[in-house]
Amino acid sequence: MSDAPARTVPAVHGQRQIVPDPPHERELAAHLRASDRDAVLALYGRFVDGETPFDAMMRRVLWNALAKRAGDGLRVERGARFRHIETFELGSGVFVGEGAFIQGRIGGTCVIGDRTWVGPQTFLDARDLVVEPSVGLGPGVRILGSVHTGSPSDKPIIETDLEIRPVRIGAGADVGVNAVLMPGVTVGQGAMIGAGAVVTKDVPAFAVAAGVPAVVLRLREGRG
């Protein structure tokens, strides 16, 4: 490891003030919401990879138009894509990083709380997913929401029924780079998941967990 000293700098996303969306953006989103849905979905393709401020504004407007609910101050970076966005409930100040993909499901649940940071290249299998406010999902995080039953055994596993299992992430938790959350797990409030961890069991509030499979190493400072 480098001998250079570490530096501590203020957080950016977590401290950013949430500014209400301009009225003209909300009006445009409302107009698009009332328009032909397939045409609005196709319109997103014109702006999804754009780099200009106008492209960024249109991504925000289109997510507002298409989602079940979206709060103020949404930021959607280049290349962020979705499926079944009509199931998404997004809080205020949510950040969706470059190349992220959020896959909803018809009749499913996808709730992402205020000030949550969804890192670049994340994949959220949002079949029954609730992420509470102020959560950090590091770059490359994978959250899985279902598993094939594998029964009966005389069928290829891919042909067997899917069992959808809820995933819950408590407020203020942080999930490290390239970590994987398996179907059915709960990460407690304020918990920290290490980089590359594979979480197969619930993690208690304010615990630090790491490894493959992840195990609880300790509680965060001041918590035990």
Where in the sequence numbering do the catalytic residues fall? 148
Question: Is the Cα torsion angle 110, 168, 81, 16 positive or negative in sign?
Answer: positive
The answer to whether the beta carbons of residues 170 and 183 sit under 8 Å apart is no
| Residue type (1 letter), 177 | V
Q: Is cis: bond before 213, omega within 30 of 0?
A: yes
140: its two tokens: 């490359």
First to last CA, the chain: 29
CA gap 155, 150 in Å, rounded = 8
161: its two tokens: 């029924």
Q: Which residues pair with 174 in a beta bridge?
A: 136, 192
* C-alpha distance from residue 57 to each of 7, 39, 53 (Å): 33, 18, 6
